[in-house]
Amino acid sequence: MEAFSDGVFAIAATLLILEISVDSPSQLTHIWPAYLAYVTSFLTIGIIWINHHHTVSLMGRVDRTFLFVNNLLLLTIAFLPFPTKLVGDNLQKPGERSAVLAYAATFVLMAVMHQVWWQYARRGRRLIGDNVPESALRSVDLAYAPGVVIYGIAFLVAFASPLASVLLTFAIAAFYLPSAALFDR
Amino acid sequence: MEAFSDGVFAIAATLLILEISVDSPSQLTHIWPAYLAYVTSFLTIGIIWINHHHTVSLMGRVDRTFLFVNNLLLLTIAFLPFPTKLVGDNLQKPGERSAVLAYAATFVLMAVMHQVWWQYARRGRRLIGDNVPESALRSVDLAYAPGVVIYGIAFLVAFASPLASVLLTFAIAAFYLPSAALFDR
Amino acid sequence: MEAFSDGVFAIAATLLILEISVDSPSQLTHIWPAYLAYVTSFLTIGIIWINHHHTVSLMGRVDRTFLFVNNLLLLTIAFLPFPTKLVGDNLQKPGERSAVLAYAATFVLMAVMHQVWWQYARRGRRLIGDNVPESALRSVDLAYAPGVVIYGIAFLVAFASPLASVLLTFAIAAFYLPSAALFDR
Amino acid sequence: MEAFSDGVFAIAATLLILEISVDSPSQLTHIWPAYLAYVTSFLTIGIIWINHHHTVSLMGRVDRTFLFVNNLLLLTIAFLPFPTKLVGDNLQKPGERSAVLAYAATFVLMAVMHQVWWQYARRGRRLIGDNVPESALRSVDLAYAPGVVIYGIAFLVAFASPLASVLLTFAIAAFYLPSAALFDR
């Protein structure tokens, strides 16, 4: 499972760049929304990948349902290059609200799937390794808990200000996620 | 062989997103055929990958012919992003029948190649590990047997209704394949 | 070195599909040159990858020059999707000669680099593992020796008939390479 | 960390080819700037990857900050296909200065991030394995030290001559980096 998951994370992050294009080099500074969306999506995928990896290391077994849920989680992550391009192409332009709503909705979906993925493994220690202490599980609980809420807020903010929503998503990836992440616990 | 195969599966699944495009954010809900085709192809590749991985774990050796057949199998899987895009671009439009026939034909070809791949390894236990019980082989037989038939039905359905054919292919990936798969047997 | 090389082989093969496009589903049978080029390039990369893997397993060490030569070899393989698209787009059309010459030239370059790569490692057993018998090296010599010549012939044939050149390259991948390859020696 | 990093390096290098396109086979020799940019970027990624791999082998642990810095480094490397395409499309054309400045700026950023990445691990032997001698660290210091300066020079040269800047970047990848690299020290 890890080889396929690692591959999808690394490929999705690296494909993001293919979604940036510019008509002429003189426009290179005008397409800052594309850079902002690129950096936001890349950093988020990197951190989710680290969390995914750490959490898998706590598991002692996998089952059929979990592999299917893992596929669904990867499906949402592999989807990210599409709304990232939408934001890069449309931010500060007429269609920006729909574009950013699609972007934020993708992050909400990723957070929901990650939570489902974790709760399935953790409930009754269904897939947890025998020697893993409860404190390690609570640490993951704390790291995953706020995801749906904070991306839900970014979704709501998009109605008021699409740019503010993207900046909030960037700030989550640059400041909140790294400190909440499971990096070296 | 596993590293190359893992790579092709993960890359083919993640490339699918590059085939979705939209002229303007206001059309985001109009392109539901693209989302349907994306989800269907992604889930199918994920499950085939899990089956491929499990089946390889039953083998104690590989030979020249098998590696070549494996290449042919990967060739059909890496082809999938092309008909996936065809379906996403053309479903509910004039060219939908040809597009969905190409899509279903690709799945039939994948199922045929997967069956050839497995039968080559299994016939007379040619490549099977010495300690693998017959029951494990019969379990794989059962999981692989219906593939050609059910995708053949999806192909025939496309003549009557292209949309029904794609929905059937989606249902196979979402409901039938996960339960028939070799996940944790 | 293997992880990077494996990745480049698998990615180059899987990216080939992105180079196929069609204006409308009604043209699906008209673009057979694209399918021919896809299958030819995919099979060739798969077989080169198997040979590369086998040959690396004979080596007991690597050095700085070899890693650089390996990079050059990968550079030629990662280039293949570009002339593959050229052939797919132009075969049986006015620009076909230039397209097929570029395609064949890429294969010649790949064969030259693979030969340089192997000869550097083999000369005086520079990088060969201590326990590897001379017969294993001669087996690799035999498998690699004809590459430059047969792709050189395909290059020359392109002047007379571009289609014949592509068919010859396909035949090499489908019939000659699998039997000459190092698969299970 | 290695699996994700390896993936990003290999994918970024292999994606470079997708950025080359040509209107007609008769223009194949006219697009030499695209080939030059492709070779330059591919070789540079290959060598940075080798250095990255070697340096990681000196580390005995990683921490949260380091993983985040590693993500930032990968972000700059995965960005390279975009300015590579800019150079390929615009060199020897009106927009060449902006294109090459963006290309050189990306290399400067990569060199800066690689230096930050290394200094974070090395300062006070924060992440260095216990048995790694000081001489191995000084060897890395020497290899990494000139990066920012030489790419800074390439950036400045672009104001005078964009072509000379790209040729200098190519020469660094073909002649300087291989000899300065950590290949087999």
Q: What is the CA radius of gyration of chain C?
A: 17
pLDDT at D73 over 60: yes
Is residue C185 predicted with pLDDT exceeding 80? no
Q: Do C25 and B75 touch (CB under 8 A)?
A: no
Indicate the pLDDT class of residue B50, thresholds 50, 70 and 90.
confident
As a whole number of angstroms, the distance between CA C73 and CA C70 comes to 5
Angstrom distance (rounded) from CA B117 to CA B126? 12
Confidence of residue D25 (pLDDT cuts 50, 70, 90): very high
Q: How far apart are CA D178 and CA D185, in angstroms?
A: 12
Are residues B28 and A63, on separate chains, in Cβ contact within 8 Å?
A: no
Nearest CA in chain A to B5: A4
Partner-chain contact C68 D178, CB within 8 Å? yes
pLDDT at residue C64, as a whole number: 83
Residue the block writes with tokens 């909400």: A108
With beta carbons less than 8 A apart as the criterion, state whether B103 and B80 touch: no
Kindly state the helix (H) or strand (E) to which residue B161 belongs, with its residue range. Answer: none
- In whole angstroms, give the CA distance from residue B69 to residue C183: 12
Distance CA D76, CA D88 (A): 19
Least confident of B79-83, C17-21, C105-109: C17-21
Alpha-carbon span D179 to A132, nearest angstrom: 47
Residues of A in contact with B14 (CB under 8 A): 7-8, 11-12, 15, 78
Tokens of B61: 């050796």
Q: Using an 8 Å Cβ cutoff, are B15 and B147 in contact?
A: no
Closest CA to C51 of B67, A12, B13: B67
Q: Could you say which DSSP state residue B25 is in?
A: G
Cβ neighbours, 10 Å, residue C92: 10
Residue A128 phi/psi, 5° resolution? -80, 140
pLDDT at A183 (0 to 100) = 61
CB-based contact B25 A67, cutoff 8 Å: no
DSSP tag of D20: -
Whether B18 and A18 have beta carbons less than 8 Å apart is answered as: yes
pLDDT band at C96 (very low <50, low <70, confident <90, very high): very high
What distance in Å separates residue A43's CA from the closest CA in chain D? 7
In 3D, which of D48, D104, D37, D117 has the Cα closest to residue D77? D48
D82 vs A13, A17, A184: nearest CB: A17
Comparing CA positions, the residue from A42, A36, A102, A45 lying closest to residue A73 is A45
By the 8 A CB rule, do D86 and D162 touch?
Answer: no
**Cross-chain residue pair A99–B25, CB shorter than 8 Å:** yes
Which of D82, D110, D89, D107 is closest to D158 using CA atoms?
D107
Task: Return the pLDDT at B108.
Answer: 97
Read off the pLDDT of residues C155-175 as tens digits, 9 standing for 90 and up.
999 999 999 999 999 999 998
Give the integer Cα–Cα distance in Å for C182 and C171. 18
Inter-chain CB proximity B11 and C16 less than 8 Å:
no
The answer to whether B64 and C46 have CB atoms below 8 angstroms apart is no
Question: D43 vs C75: CB contact, 8 Å cut-off?
Answer: yes
Cβ contact, residue pair B17, A79, below 8 Å = yes
- Which amino acid, one-letter code, is at A17? I
Determine the straight-line distance between the first and last CA of chain D, rounded to whole angstroms.
23
What is the three-class DSSP state of C135?
Answer: helix
The minimum CA-CA distance between A155 and chain D, rounded to whole Å, is: 25
A41 touches chain B (CB under 8 A): no
Residues 111-130, chain B, touching C (beta carbon < 8 A): none
Q: Report the alpha-carbon distance of residue C121 to residue C65 in Å, rounded.
A: 10
Instruction: Determine the 3-state secondary structure of C162 from DSSP.
Output: helix
Q: Quote the minimal CA–CA distance from D33 to chain A in Å.
A: 15
pLDDT band at D183, cuts 50/70/90? low
List the one residue out of C95, C78, C83, C104 whose CA is nearest residue C38. Answer: C83
**B–C CB contacts, 8 A cutoff, strictly below:** 81
Interface probe for C, chosen from D28, D74, D77 (most Cβ of C below 10 Å), is D28
B74 and C18 within 8 Å at the Cβ level: the answer is no
Taking only Cα atoms into account, the Rg of chain A, rounded to an integer number of angstroms, comes to 17
Nearest to A167 by CA among A133, C51, A175: A175
Among A17, A73, A62, A50, CA closest to A143: A50
Tell me the residue type at C74: L
Scanning the structure block, which residue is given the tokens 């989302």? B35
D178–chain C Cβ distance below 8 A for any pair? yes
The C-alpha atoms of residue D43 and residue D38 are separated, in whole angstroms, by 9
- Within 10 angstroms of residue C133's Cβ, the number of other Cβ atoms is 10
C72 Cα to chain B: minimum distance (Å):
20
Q: Are C71 and D17 inside 8 Å of each other by CB?
A: no
Helix (H) / strand (E) element for A106: namely helix A96-122
d(CA A154, CA A100): 9
C1: confidence class by pLDDT, cuts 50, 70, 90: confident
- Which of the residue ranges B53-62, C141-150, D165-174 has the most confident prediction, judged by mean pLDDT? D165-174
* pLDDT the model gives residue B127: 96
First and final C-alpha spacing in chain A: 23
Report how far residue A62's alpha carbon sits from residue B65's, in angstroms, rounded to the nearest whole number: 33
Per 3-state DSSP, chain D is made up of helix, strand and coil in percentages (nearest 5) of 80, 0, 20
CA distance B129 to A117: 33
Cβ distance of B71 and C42 shorter than 8 Å: yes
**The predicted structure's pLDDT at residue B160:** 97
- Strand-pair partners of C59: C128
Which of C10, C24, C181 has the CB atom closest to B8's CB atom?
C10
**Is D133 at the interface with chain A, CB within 8 A?**
no
For C39, the token pair is 């299958």
Residue type, A174: A
Nearest CB among C11, C68, C86 relative to D10 is that of C11
Residue of chain C with shortest Cα separation from D54: C1
Contacts of A96 in chain B (CB under 8 A): 25
Of D11, D98, D99, the CB nearest to A14: D11
Query: Hey, is the C-beta of B173 within 8 angstroms of any chain A C-beta?
Result: no
Mutate to test the interface with A, among B4, B17, B23, B182 (most CBs of A within 10 A): B17
Paired with B59 in beta bridges are: B128
What sign does the CA torsion over D82, D84, D86, D89 have? negative
CA separation (Å) from C127 to B42, C118, D27?
A: 42, 10, 42
D7, D72, D78 member nearest A17 (Cβ): D78
Q: Do A11 and D11 touch (CB under 8 A)?
A: yes
What is d(CA C185, CA D157) in angstroms, rounded to the nearest whole number? Answer: 53
Chain D nearest CA to A30, separation (Å): 13
- Say how many C-beta atoms besides its own lie within 10 A of residue A69's C-beta: 19
| Per-residue tens of pLDDT for chain A, all 185 residues | 778 898 999 999 999 999 999 999 999 999 999 999 999 999 999 989 988 988 999 999 988 889 999 999 999 999 999 999 999 999 999 999 999 999 999 999 999 999 999 999 999 999 999 999 999 999 999 988 899 999 999 999 999 999 999 999 999 999 877 777 776 55
Q: What pLDDT sits at residue B176?
A: 78
The residue length of chain B stands at 185
Bridge partners (DSSP) of residue C128 are C59
| pLDDT of the residue at B184 | 54
ipTM for the complex? 0.93
State the smallest CA–CA distance between residue A84 and chain D in angstroms.
14
A99, A91 Cβ separation under 8 angstroms: yes
Point out which residues pair with A128 in neighbouring strands: A59
The CA-based angle B145-B149-B154, given to 5 degrees, is 140
Write down the pLDDT at residue C183: 61
Please report, in angstroms and rounded to a whole number, the separation of the first and last CA atoms in chain B.
23
On whether any CB of chain D is under 8 Å from the CB of C14, the answer is no
- How many angstroms separate the CA of residue D77 from the nearest CA in chain A? 9
Q: Does A9 touch chain D (CB under 8 A)?
A: yes
Residue B114 CA to residue A1 CA, distance in Å, equals: 20
Which of D11, D68, D95 has its CB closest to that of A178?
Answer: D68
